Amino acid sequence: MKMPEHGRVWDEVKADMIARGGGDAAWRDGRTAVYVFNAGQDISRIQHEAYGLYMAENGLGPLAFPSLAQMEKDVIAMGLDLLHGPEGSTGTMTSGGTDSITMAIKTARDYARANGRPREGTNIVLAQSAHLAFDKAAHLMDIEVRRVPLKTDGTYEADPEAMGEAVDAATIMMVGSAPNFPHGIIDPIEALGDVAAKKNVWLHVDACVGGYFAPFARMNGVPVPAFDFEVPQVHSMSADLHKYGYCAKGASTVLFRSEDLYQYMPFDMAGWSGAPMKTPTLAGTRPGGAISAAWAVMNSLGVVGYREKQGLVCETRERIEEGVKRLGFEVLGNPMLGLVAFRHPDHHAFAIYGEIYRRGWFTSVTKEPPSLHLMLSPKHAEVVDDYLADLEASVATVAGGLAGPKVEARYS
């Protein structure tokens, strides 16, 4: 596209944009189980309006916009309260999980350096199921990633003992996930905490996809094990608002047990021609709308609202588990929240994936082991039966040797 010489009227531009979405995954109908968290039209309206209210304002300027500064403080306080942040714990909003993880690693690295750890051979130790955002951040900072195989007992949990063996004097962080993305399984954070304490290593819990889900699931009676700051060795956490917090995209939280740890995160700089600037995260300009929308959704839903939404998601996951088991699938491990992965003993998951895709479902896969993967939203409660019917038909197609051409499941 070349920029038009003369602009068009907004009504026309808008119509063009809406038409362009016609070929996108049909997430509004609940036929997408990746990328989008659909909590219904009421929440969507709040996101839109609350984002718009502070869209022009800039989180870079807390003195100009004390409104945003206070909303961010409130969001962090709510997050810390839900995740057992002790007295003195603190944190910042970021643009997303990758951002939160990057900042946590940077903070742990600078903390390690300030505390006499070697600069050579800097590494982080994580399970094979931990999110690739850790590798991306490590790549940026020239840090070695040590991925450790999962337990082989069918739980799909991180193996704390094996991870401990991968730690050395230059390890700046161990990582546990709550839950991991590929299998939706919460790692044994208490056991990881014991190992990290013994090795005197920073423990980060990646609760990007579970941080604003697990506390409410627990309130609803789900036996969620200790996974947050309740575990004494947990130094930092990442928890995304734009996932199961149902906030507008561009919103996550990175949280620290104490100001002592957090102090290594902000970048404070005066040695240039401009005014001195202190920024907490990688961003300079920070979209005010992402902050205000998060504040608005959290205040609109409240504990009761979140419990209801997450209860519905858990119920939906249970119906899916029941349904896929009836079709002969095996569910991986013991998922407790909104993610579930399952595989078939007789048919390759990726062949079934292609068939379910052809039937209009944009879902995902897990590679190790090859499985189908769903990330469920409240909206999916309405479409479970349709999905299971199409899954059954997909299995039949594959079983009959009638599968169509291969569809490659990729994130991009």
Ligand X SMILES: *Cc1c(COP(=O)(O)O)cnc(C)c1O
Site residues (vs ligand X, CB under 6 A) = 96-98, 131, 133, 177, 180-181, 206, 208-209, 240, 252
Q: Which residue has the tokens 């991180």?
A: 158
| Nearest approach, Cβ of residue 87 and ligand X (Å) | 27
| Nearest approach, Cβ of residue 211 and ligand X (Å) | 9
Strands (E), 232-336: 234-240, 252-256, 267-269, 277-279, 330-331
Instruction: Give the count of beta carbons closer than 10 Å to the beta carbon of residue 352.
Output: 26
User: What is d(CA 208, CA 131) in angstroms, rounded to the nearest whole number?
Assistant: 9
* Encoded tokens for 349: 């998951």
C-beta closer to ligand X: residue 337 or 349: 337
C-beta closer to ligand X: residue 14 or 139: 139
C-beta closer to ligand X: residue 131 or 347: 131
| Nearest approach, Cβ of residue 281 and ligand X (Å) | 13
User: What is d(CA 277, CA 263) in angstroms, rounded to the nearest whole number?
Assistant: 15
User: What is d(CA 255, CA 85) in angstroms, rounded to the nearest whole number?
Assistant: 8
| Nearest approach, Cβ of residue 180 and ligand X (Å) | 6
C-beta closer to ligand X: residue 180 or 233: 180
C-beta closer to ligand X: residue 101 or 167: 101
C-beta closer to ligand X: residue 186 or 398: 186
Q: What are phi and psi of 101, to 5 degrees?
A: -65, -45
Q: Where are the alpha helices (DSSP H) in 115-179?
A: 133-140, 160-166
| Nearest approach, Cβ of residue 319 and ligand X (Å) | 22
| Nearest approach, Cβ of residue 170 and ligand X (Å) | 24
| Nearest approach, Cβ of residue 200 and ligand X (Å) | 25
3-state SS, residue 133: helix
C-beta closer to ligand X: residue 98 or 397: 98
User: What is d(CA 376, CA 316) in angstroms, rounded to the nearest whole number?
Assistant: 8
Q: How far apart are the first and last CA of the chain?
A: 22
| Nearest approach, Cβ of residue 199 and ligand X (Å) | 23
CA dihedral 379→382→383→388, nearest 10 degrees, is: 120
* Encoded tokens for 353: 């994936």
Nearest to ligand X by Cβ — which residue? 97
C-beta closer to ligand X: residue 281 or 394: 281
240 touches 251 (CB < 8 A): yes
Sign of CA dihedral 389, 390, 393, 398: negative
